[in-house]
Structure 1
Amino acid sequence: MTQPTSGTYFSIVSVLLLVLSVVAFSDNLFTDVSQPSNSDPKFIVHGLFGLAWYVLLATQANLVRTRKLRLHRKLGIAAFIVAIGVTLSTLYIFVVLWKGWANMEPEVRANRLLLPGYALCVLLAWQLRGRSDWHKRLIFIGTFFMLGPVVDRIYDPLVMSWAKPLFSTLYTRQVDEIAYLVFRWGSWAGFFLSLWLYDRKQIGRIHPVTRAGCTWFALVVLVSEFS
């Protein structure tokens, strides 16, 4: 049996991330377009940059899979510019909404700590674009760092929409809170684990980028939950 190409994992995961991001923000995009955040410039700009990032991520991964490397390199410039937009727009929202570390929920703390990691990963990926093994892992680890808002908002359409009506007698507020935390951290950590398993299968060891990214994510979770 032939081995799948090394680009298959990144192609599949990138498309999955794009689909999840669209579903997570489907209310903004389709079902509740009149909500206040849709008329707030800072959220509009941030949302457009975020969507553009996931679209480009899926496009770039599939261009590599189909060996269209020249177009991949050209679009890389656009992806880098979009990444700057994601970073700056997210930072602006953090500054505007800042209410002190002690007043933030753990998931919000995690998002703040992971933003510099995203920016650093993209910067290093640009500098190491000639080394594909480092480049692609840096891009995906950086993207995984920014998944907080997606996994937060995907819980309702993917879990609550069917679980609450189906288990209405069991689904108390406490159960919902526990289920949310398990889903949030479990699904988020699952993306890091998937890259870990990919490394084991493809190269027989854990790549330094994967190891560093998983370690930083674990530390951020601990700090954000217990500080």
Structure 2
Amino acid sequence: MPYVKSAVFWFIGLLAILLIGFWKSYFSIILSGPDSTHHFHGLAMLAWVLLLINQAWLARSKKLDLHRKTGKLSYVIAPLVVISGAMVSFHNIAQFENPLTPPALSIFHLGLFSVFAYAVLYVLAMVHRKSVHYHARYMIATALVFLVPGLSRTMGQYVAPSGFPALDFYQCLYVPLAISLALVAWEWRTGRVRSPFIVFSVLWAAMLVLWHVLPHLTAWQRFTAWAASVGG
């Protein structure tokens, strides 16, 4: 499991992407600018990524007893990530002048679907907590869920203005799927494909399909309009 053993470094990389991507809009003004909803979500997400780093490092260091003890923090942090993620999705859609434009409808879907996917993957990680092969992979998959927000902002705010080739927001949506499929291919080459990254790939592929479909559905438009009316 070379990539599982090196997961701590990938989680540190995710933390760096999130810090860079959200530096201007959150971390640089953390004491004065963000509203309480974004504070709640930002701190919950930061706690989750730091927990991933801690757990991966303890597992790599074979401090499994401490890994199990600190892992119980996830029973508090994970629900906070879900609740704050839903809250910030409702809050953000309420800020659109017209929340019923196709981009707004799709972005609202991305926020809520990410929360749903994270919850599914976390629950599966806990169900398989006694199987290191499955548990570790599902925990890695939870990190993939939250890659797009930081990556797209890093590309748009730093990479593109510097003149280097950069992915646009829509292209960034495909990065988690590309990574998960690459991991599935790696496992196939080694002779044993386990389900976690297949589950993530199916979830993320569904998200991409719904990105295009939902804006055209009246039911989604009505739900989004309601969310915008209560999310402010």
TM over 0.5: yes
Query: 1:29 maps to what in 2?
Result: 27
Q: What's the C-alpha RMSD, in Å, of the aligned pairs?
A: 2.6
Q: 1:66 to 1:43 in 2, by over 3 A?
A: same
What secondary structure is seen at the aligned counterpart in 2 of 1:206?
Answer: coil
Equivalence map 1:25-104=2 (5 Å): 25-27=22-24, 28-30=26-28, 32-33=29-30, 36=33, 38=34, 40-98=35-93, 104=104
Deviates more, 1:192-201 or 1:217-226: 192-201
| Percent identical | 20
Query: Partner of 1:15 in structure 2?
Result: 12
Show the counterpart of 2:173. Answer: 185
User: How many positions carry a matched residue from both structures?
Assistant: 208
Cα distance, 1:79 vs structure 2 = 2.5
Report if aligned partners of 1:151, 1:188 keep a CA contact under 8 Å in 2.
Answer: no
- Match status 1:199 vs 2:194: no
1-structure distance, mates of 2:124, 2:11: 19
Q: Structure 1, unaligned stretches of length 5 or more?
A: 168-175
C-alpha distance after superposition, 1:61-115 (max 9, x if no partner): 1211111111111110112311111111111222344466765253442232231
Q: Is this contact kept in 2: 1:15–1:58, CA < 8 A?
A: yes
Q: Post-superposition, which runs of at least 4 consecutive aligned residues in structure 1 deviate over 6 A?
A: none
Distance of 1:127 and 1:157 partners within structure 2 = 39
CA contact (8 A) 1:94 1:112 kept: yes
Deviation at 1:42, TM superposition (A): 0.9
Q: Which residue of 2 aligns with 1:109?
A: 109
With a CA cutoff of 8 Å and minimum separation of 6, indicate the structure with the bigger relative contact order. 2
Q: Distance in 2 between matches of 1:26 and 1:46?
A: 15
Number of the residue aligned with 1:214: 201
Could you list the per-position Cα deviations for residues 169-199 of structure 1 after superposition, in whole angstroms to 9, with x for gaps in the alignment?
xxxxxxx8xx414641343333323432442
Q: Report if the CA contact (8 A) 2:121-2:141 is conserved.
A: yes
The answer on whether the counterparts of 1:23 and 1:157 sit within 8 Å (CA) in structure 2 is: no
Distance 2:120 2:182 in 1: 21
